[in-house]
């Protein structure tokens, strides 16, 4: 069984039982929507307790439950550049605005990156008389590039490197 087959199976169950993601997320509970849906789509893992709840709710086998709790090989099956218009717009935002983001983040924080790992995110509807808007709030830890010294590097206890 591959993770891709598990994802396809879960989508079949969702369709046949006419479940919404909302219902599934509420049944599993305990993590944000993006993480639970991401795990069911094969991009994240579910903690074991939640994988058990997911398996019970969706009627999965034990092996499927265990696979849901495994760290997947992420990013597979996402063609880049994205072919889907909804996803391409995000890609375009990075391509067009990326240089300005880099300058502004670095001027504010110094040399480093916004983590994509110690990261969280919410998606909300923002009502607007001219047409509702999608509001996305992201928060990622700033990780400064380490500029370690000229002495003996990488000591056994890592004291200097941190």
Is residue 20 part of the annotated active site? The answer reads no
* Vertex 92: Cα angle to 112 and 42 (nearest 5): 80
Does residue 59 interact with its own copies by CB under 8 A?
Answer: no
Q: Which of residues 21-40 bind its own copies (CB under 8 A)?
A: 21-22, 25, 29-35, 37-38
Those residues whose C-beta lies under 8 Å from the C-beta of residue 39, and which sit 6 or more positions away, are: 45, 46, 54, 68
Q: Which of 10, 54, 60, 67 binds its own copies (CB under 8 A)?
A: 67
Q: Are 120 and 127 in contact (CB under 8 A)?
A: no
Is residue 92 part of the annotated active site? The answer reads yes
Does residue 125 interact with its own copies by CB under 8 A?
Answer: yes
Residue of 32, 48, 74, 89 marked active site: 89
Residue of 4, 70, 92, 103 marked active site: 92
Is residue 22 part of the annotated active site? The answer reads no
Q: Are 129 and 105 in contact (CB under 8 A)?
A: no
Does residue 119 interact with its own copies by CB under 8 A?
Answer: yes
Q: Which of residues 128-157 bind its own copies (CB under 8 A)?
A: 128-150, 152-154, 156-157
* Vertex 152: Cα angle to 148 and 156 (nearest 5): 95
Does residue 49 interact with its own copies by CB under 8 A?
Answer: no
- Cα–Cα distance measured from residue 78 to residue 159, given in angstroms and rounded to the nearest whole number: 39
Q: Which is nearer to its own copies, 56 or 109 (CB)?
A: 109
Q: Are 57 and 24 in contact (CB under 8 A)?
A: yes
Catalytic residue list: 89, 92, 115
């Amino acid at each position: 069984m591959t993770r891709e087959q598990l994802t396809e199976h879960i989508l079949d169950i969702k369709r046949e039982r006419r479940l919404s993601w909302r219902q599934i997320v509420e049944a599993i509970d305990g993590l944000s929507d993006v993480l639970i849906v991401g795990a069911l789509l094969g991009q994240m893992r579910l903690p074991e307790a939640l994988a058990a709840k997911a398996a019970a709710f969706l009627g999965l086998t034990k092996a499927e439950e265990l696979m849901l709790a495994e760290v997947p090989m992420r990013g597979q099956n996402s063609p880049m550049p994205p072919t889907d218009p909804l996803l391409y717009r995000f890609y375009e935002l990075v391509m067009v605005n990326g240089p300005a983001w880099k300058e502004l983040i670095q001027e504010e924080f110094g040399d480093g990156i916004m983590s994509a790992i110690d990261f969280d995110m919410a998606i909300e509807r923002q009502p607007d008389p001219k047409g509702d808007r999608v509001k996305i709030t992201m928060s990622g830890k700033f990780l400064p590039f380490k500029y370690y010294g000229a002495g003996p590097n990488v000591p056994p206890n890592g004291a200097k490197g941190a």
